[in-house]
Amino acid sequence: MAKDGRQNPVVAWRDPIIHELGIVDALAEAGAQLFLDDDPGTPDEFTARSARAGIGISGVDYALADSGTLVVFSGSGRARSVSLLPPVHVAILKPEQIVSGLDDLFSVLGAESVDGNGLASAITFITGPSRTGDIEMTLVVGVHGPQQLHVILLATNPA
């Protein structure tokens, strides 16, 4: 909730998984103000909305099992501001998106670029909330990004 008592908006990617899970409808029923990455408006307007949002919801392209790192590609309907500007980031992950580590990720990414799909113009690696230490070595969380990261790992469907 914002300091003035109003509810902070939610920003999200226009990602199929977000719609498949019914998140858009659930937020609407809850009365949340939701802005999707490809709603009408300029990219600068969406970035400003992301900066005012309380929660950003995104999908994930890959996750690294050895470090717990999320790998997120930018692109149309996938603004980086969703995972970087709101104080809370919710990332949705499918089990088949998990690879063991960077070596496996680079193998997969190399195969994708050979297929002609090309790679995103930006790839973000997220390993928990941002944290930094100043000159006095005081740890501060959330200075350069979200203060909280919540990862939702979807269950696999039994065969």
Give the domains, in start order, of the chain with CATH numbers.
Answer: 10-153 (3.40.50.10420)
Output the CA–CA distances (angstroms, integers) from residue 3 to 49, 52, 69, 151, in the order listed.
16, 12, 32, 26
Query: In sequence order, what are the residues at sequence separation of 6 or more whose Cβ sits closer than 8 angstroms to the Cβ of residue 152?
Result: 90, 91, 92, 93
Q: Quick: pLDDT tens for 89-145.
A: 999 999 999 999 999 998 888 766 544 556 667 888 998 776 666 666 777 765 677
Question: What's the pLDDT tens digit per position in 36-72?
Answer: 988 888 889 999 999 999 999 999 999 999 999 999 9
In terms of DSSP bridges, do strands 34-36 and 10-12 run parallel, antiparallel, or are they unpaired?
parallel
pTM of structure: 0.83
Look at residues 61, 20, 59 and name the one whose alpha carbon lies nearest to residue 37.
59
Please give the structure tokens belonging to residue 151. Answer: 């990862």
